[in-house]
Amino acid sequence: MATLQITDNRPSGDSHADGKAYFETSTNKMLVWNATAGAWVEIDSDGTGAAYLNQYSLSFGGDDYLELGTSVKTYFDGVQGVSVRAVIKIPSLRSTNSVVFGQESADSGDNSLFTVRLNSSNKIDVIFRNSSGSYFIMDWANPVSADTWYDVVAVFDGSSSDILLYVNGDLKNTKDTVTDTTYTSSSNAKFRFGATGHQTFLRGFEGLIDEAAIFSYALSASQVASLMDTSGANPVPADLSSFINNGLAAWYRMGDDSNDSPVDGGSVASITDSSGNGYTATQGTVSSRPTFSTSVPS
C-alpha cells in the first residue's frame, strides 16, 4: 500500500519506490511514482482536506528587510483600528533596538507611526505616533529569551484610544492614554518587515519572522487567541483562512504560500500576500534580502 505524504514540490530524480505517493501543495495534485515509466503520475485534486502546513520562516540578519510598498498604508492612515501580528524568534539577545515591523520615517530614527520591535532591553514594545507628532510607547515588562518563539500581536483600537500588546495569546499591556488618535503618514513612506528608519539607518532585526499578518480592525481577545493552535504540546500558528474577506488585509506565510519558491537558506526576493489582496512583500536589492529557514514553531 502506498503511503501518502505532503510536499511543496515533487522530489527530483528518477529513482523512487514504485507506488510512492505525495500530495503536492504547489499544484494541488496527487502524485504516484510509476517505476516502469520512470515518472510521476498526476491525479487532479481540489486540495480539500490538505493539511495546513507551516514549514518555512524568514531569517533576517540585521541589514536585510522586505518592503510592503506604500499602498498598504491605507490601513494605517486615519482609520479606527488596525492589528499587526508576527511570530518571532531571536538567536541571541541584543543591546540595540531592532524593528520587526514598521514604517520608513522622515528622520534618522525608527519613529514610524506604528512600530513593533524589540527595544534595547530585549522587551517587545509598540510605538504609536499620532498626527501631531506625539509618541506613545508601551512594552511587555519581561525581556524575551533567546531561541524561543513568541506570537506577538499589536492592536490599535481607535474607538477606545487603546493600544494593546498580546504575547502568545495573553494580554501583556494596555495603554489607554492615547490622544489625537488620527494619524497620517508621508505618502511615500514604505512599511517594512525586518527594519525601519531612514535610508541606511535601519535598526535591523536579527532573527526569524513567521506567519505575519495585518488586520484592518482591532482584533478582540478571543480573535487574538484564535491565531494560535493550542491542540498540540506547544502552541503553533493557526490557519488564518477564516479571516480572508473578514478583515485580513495582508498575510505573509514566509514561504508556505504555493506561489512562493522556498529553498532552505535561499535568498528571498518576494513573499506572496496570502490574503488575496496583492500586497506582495519585496526586496529588489540582492544584498538586502532575507533568507528562507526551515526553523518554525513546533
284 pLDDT higher than 80: yes
261 pLDDT higher than 60: yes
| Digit-coded pLDDT (tens) for 205-220 | 999 999 999 999 999 9
- With cut-offs at 50, 70 and 90, classify the pLDDT of residue 109: very low
What's the start-to-end Cα distance of the chain, in Å?
29
Task: Please name the amino acid found at residue 83.
Answer: S
To which residue does cell 513573499 refer?
271
Contacts of 233 by beta carbon, 8 Å cutoff, 6+ apart: none
pTM of the model: 0.80
108 pLDDT higher than 60: no
Q: Which of 28-42, 119-133, 168-182, 259-273 has the highest mean pLDDT?
A: 259-273
| Digit-coded pLDDT (tens) for 113-161 | 678 999 999 999 998 776 666 677 889 999 999 999 999 999 988 778 8
d(CA 217, CA 84): 10
Nearest to 60 by CA among 298, 294, 296, 293: 293
Q: Which residue has the higher pLDDT, 197 or 96?
A: 96
- For the chain, the three-class secondary structure string (H helix, E strand, C coil) is CCCEEEECCCCCCCCCCCCCEEEECCCCEEEEEECCCCEEEEEECCCCCCCCCCCCEEEEECCCCEEEECHHHHHCCCCCEEEEEEEEECCCCCCCCEEEEEECCCCCCCCCCEEEEECCCCCEEEEEECCCCCEEEEECCCCCCCCCCEEEEEEEECCCCEEEEEECCEEEEEECCCCCCCCCCCCCCCEEECCCCECCECCCCEEEEEEEEEECCCCCHHHHHHCEECCCCCCEECCCHHHCCCCEEEEECCCCCCCCCCCCCCECCEECECCCCCCCEECCCHHHCCEEECCCCC
Asked if 292 and 210 count as a contact pair (C-beta separation under 8 A), the reply is no
d(CA 128, CA 106): 15
d(CA 291, CA 224): 28
Going from the N-terminus, what domains does the chain have, and what CATH number goes with each?
Answer: 4-44 (no CATH), 57-293 (2.60.120.200)
Task: Please name the amino acid found at residue 181.
Answer: T
